[in-house]
A and B are shown apart, each in its own frame.
Chain A
Amino acid sequence: MEQTEQASTGIGIGAYIAKHIREYGLLFALIAIMLFFQIVTGGVLLRPVNITNLFLQNSYIIIMALGMLMVIVAGHIDLSVGSVMGFVGALAAVMIVRWDLPVFVAMIACLACGAAIGAAQGYFVAYWKIPSFIVTLAGMLVFRGLSLWLLAGQSVGPFPPSFQSLANGFIPDLFGVGKPNVLALAVGVVTVLILLWLGLRTRARNARYGIEDEPFGLFVLRNAIVAAALLFVTWKLAWFRGLPNVMLSMVILTVVYVFITERTTLGRRVYAVGGNAKAAKLSGIRTERLTFLTFVNMGFLAALGGLVYAARLNTATPKAGFAVELDVIAAVFIGGASMAGGSGKIVGAVVGAFIMGVMNNGMSILGIGIDYQQVIKGLVLLAAVFFDVYNKNKEA
């Protein structure tokens, strides 16, 4: 017990940051990248309209990164998400535009189709032990081909407004003011308060069990930065058109997946399977079933991503989702997940996706060509993972 107390009280801010450099590094990297582009774009990056765009442009990547994180934590990979996303977008277009099915019915059918695709791939990975790299590489080719076939090589659109609002809609101001959008401001303030409350509650619990926690000064600083960023973003959004629909669904999904991964037996078991599948199996965990479910989940989220993407472009194109799997996977690894499985966090993956998104957006504003953009994104991915490995080696 004495040792425990020593550990919890006798650590300085510098030492604590050094120990948790990965988590803080990620946050600082995002801030640094935003500041950098804010300056070099002459303030365009953080204009209300562009902040809104940032969310709209990256929503589907973030949605899929949630599923990809779980797949990677379970020790697998899914290369097919870009193709699946494109295929589901195409399916939605065919159902809604060509067959005139009700939007709601088509959306349910598309999500079910995504889950079924995930189930098919998960079946081979989980129960036949075929490496996920191969199964999903096959899936990537198959669904790329199927979406070409479905669209007969042409773009299909436009969608009815009810479908478009999935991506482009805004939540109306319930308070009726409009400018600024009071709802957006209220949501920002409430979110900050909830985060603070949760943080304090965790601190109290950690103190009760003598768990080493971050020094109070750092806790204040970190929360102040997060709160300032949240309030800033909602303030800006409030002066544009308010909260985008897609932002709301993204936040809800993120919260749900944080909860699933950190608090439920299901989430815990996925980490256990990725950490040591044999040990997990001998502990009575049905490892095959869990692997299967992570792929079903991934398929479902890829479908959702596909719908959002199609709604945003207001058309389904054969090119949709091309190479998107690489952005999604990169986001998860930038967010600190390990290729070997067993570690990684939802929040990390979301921040990783934002880092990719801000870079995409910032470089586009600057008019940097797609060629250089790819080079820079690749180097950032390598740098992030190198930073990880470097820190791990230093520890050992």
Chain B
Amino acid sequence: MTALLEMRNITKTFPGVKALDNVSLSVREGEIHAICGENGAGKSTLMKVLSGVYPTGSYDGEIHYDGGTAAFRGIRDSEDRGIIIIHQELALVPLLSIAENIFLGNECAKGGVIDWPETFRLTEGLLAKVGLREAPGTKVDSLGVGKQQLVEIAKALSKNVRLLILDEPTAALSESDSQALLELLLELKAQGVTSIIISHKLNEVRRVADSVTVIRDGATISTIDARGGDLTEDRIVRDMVGRDMAHRYPERERRAGETMFELKNWNVWHPEHADRQVIEDLSMNVRAGEVVGIAGLMGSGRTELAMSVFGRSYGRKISGQVLLRGQRADVSTVDRAIGAGLAYVTEDRKTLGLILEETIRRNTVLANLGAVARRGVVDESRETEVAEDYRRTLRIRTPSVFQKVMNLSGGNQQKVVLAKWLFTEPDVLILDEPTRGIDVGAKYEIYSIINELSAAGKAVIMISSEMPELLGMCDRIYVMNEGSFVGELTADEASQEAIMSLIVRE
């Protein structure tokens, strides 16, 4: 097979930073090529060079594509040559239909008048190709993330894609949606579409990739060919972090104390559809020093459960009891829940967890501002000391706590969210997807922090879509499906198969 794409010695500098240093990438025609690397390694920058977001001339090096040199001045240029990027944050217009989204900017029109029958006919064909059974007129905002991802791919197919680039395509997807997406990639490959996939999920990479390029600190570390047989997760991790990571989950001494948190007969109804019950008669308990996982597919109600407990931030007609150390607790508003000793680290740190325009310092004290104030006046020295403390203990990588959090990497932002909640001195921490979208090294650090918390006698509830993470971290796992728990497994009983079979059995 010949190379469809050859990027040679790409160097891209930003003021003061060399983002890419002599990176080379070679993608064969018809293969699935994975790019792995920690956050900030330069993967996205490389893809932006490729797609023309950084126009020709703003970087050094050459790009050979499809038998010629490529000098893209913008995304339109690269799209014309069949290079399509699907970004991590999906770029669909929520209030438009699937068909309108697919042909947005590329409408089937004669003289500016849209030919709707033709549009719908073409859309149906594309949807069949990606295996999405939805009417072309369905509004995108009524679809789940997994289906939206498929719409993005259908949109790429409509543009006669030759090289499909997917940036973290499964980061927000459930296990089954991820599987479906990977199947689709393999199918597209069979039809001759070449793909580049950027992913943190190494088991997926191993499953679909024909070769893997690892990038670290803006340089190519290795290109591994799957056909050679030496494509193992350990090998990739070693190249990514530059050291051997024998243990992906830090060791923890398991020791559970008294029952700290209890939920009894919890019921929640949907905030808009009054007849839809989201959480049904659910009960659970967590002991001090215990890490308890909640497994389940996207949409099983895990986040809704957590948010309804945390100050009724979700849902209506909530009934049931919350007990802390055996006492009934008032968690009816967020500040009461915080006062009672609850903390909820959201799955969506950018829109629900942080004030991006504010500094690390201000974000750190936000949920417990009273503790650094006297009679309503903020003591800024005390505030700075607190933020500095957490910067050190959580190893937040930043020049100073006066940086805006939007300038931090995902892993460091997540640490700021954790710092905010640790400063409220909670007894019970609910962590919703605590390692989503952060790199391997930072994940390990977050796991270590979780272990320290449980060692300090906190009760930790961990919601995650990544089953290996739950298996590696939790003492006990509740399996959730359609608003109720369908099983409870101890660490010894739990396995991916056991969890999946509980979900599927329902």
Contacts and interface: CB of A to CB of B under 8 A. Distances in A.
Contacts of B373: 264-265
Given A211-B400, A282-B346, A284-B367, A266 B355 contact: no
B352 A209 contact: no
Contacts of A266: 376
Contact of B357 (A3, A286, A343): A343
B501 interface: no
B76 to A, nearest CB: 21
Contacts of B335: 284-286
Interface in B325-344: 333-335, 337-338, 344
B381 interface: yes
Given A209-B384, A264-B377, A272-B355, A280 B370 contact: no
Given A272-B366, A284-B338, A284-B367, A279 B354 contact: yes
Given A264-B376, A264-B377, A284-B338, A342 B355 contact: yes
Interface string A220-253: 0000000000000000000000000000000000
Nearest to B370: A265
Nearest to A338: B357
Contacts of A265: 369-370, 373, 376-378
A4, A205, A268 interface centre (most CB from chain B within 10 Å): A268
Contacts of B353: 279, 282
Contacts of A393: none
Contacts of A276: 351, 354-356
A278 interface: yes
B59 interface: no
Contacts of A4: 399-400
Contacts of A283: 334, 366-367, 420
A3 B355 contact: no
B358 interface: yes
B380 A282 contact: no
Interface string B8-43: 000000000000000000000000000000000000
B458 interface: no
Q: How large is the interface on B (under 10, 10 to 19, 20 to 34, 35 or more residues)?
A: 35 or more
Contacts of A343: 357
A159 interface: no
B204 to A, nearest CB: 31
A201 to B, nearest CB: 11
A282 B352 contact: yes
Nearest to A286: B335
Interface in B156-212: none
A283 B334 CA distance: 7
Contacts of B313: 281-282
Given A282-B313, A282-B344, A284-B334, A268 B402 contact: no
Nearest to B365: A268
A293 B346 CA distance: 28
Nearest to A211: B402
Q: How large is the interface on A (under 10, 10 to 19, 20 to 34, 35 or more residues)?
A: 20 to 34
A230 B273 CA distance: 62
Contacts of B402: 211-212
Contacts of B311: 282, 284
A269 interface: yes
A210 interface: yes
Contacts of A268: 362, 369, 378
Contacts of A275: 355-358
Contacts of B377: 263-265
Nearest to B398: A3
A285 B369 CA distance: 10
A37 interface: no
A7 B378 contact: no
Nearest to A259: B377
A280 B378 contact: no
Interface in B388-407: 388, 399-400, 402
A263 B378 CA distance: 5
Interface string A1-18: 001100100000000000
B487 to A, nearest CB: 30
A185 B466 CA distance: 70
A7 B351 CA distance: 30
B309 to A, nearest CB: 13
A269 B369 CA distance: 9
A271 interface: yes
Contacts of B366: 272, 279-280, 283, 285
B356 A7 contact: no
Contacts of A286: 333, 335
A263 B357 CA distance: 18
Contacts of A212: 400, 402
B357 A205 contact: no
B362, B366, B373 interface centre (most CB from chain A within 10 Å): B366
Contacts of B400: 3-4, 7, 210-212
B413 to A, nearest CB: 12
Interface of A: 3-4, 7, 205, 209-212, 263-266, 268-269, 271-272, 275-276, 278-286, 342-343
Given A205-B380, A209-B388, 11 more contacts: A3-B399, A4-B400, A264-B377, A266-B376, A268-B362, A268-B369, A275-B356, A282-B310, A282-B344, A282-B352, A284-B367
26 contacts: A3-B400, A205-B381, A209-B384, A209-B388, A212-B402, A263-B380, A265-B378, A268-B378, A271-B358, A272-B355, A272-B358, A272-B366, A276-B354, A279-B355, A280-B366, A282-B310, A282-B313, A282-B334, A283-B366, A283-B420, A284-B311, A284-B335, A285-B335, A286-B335, A342-B355, A342-B358
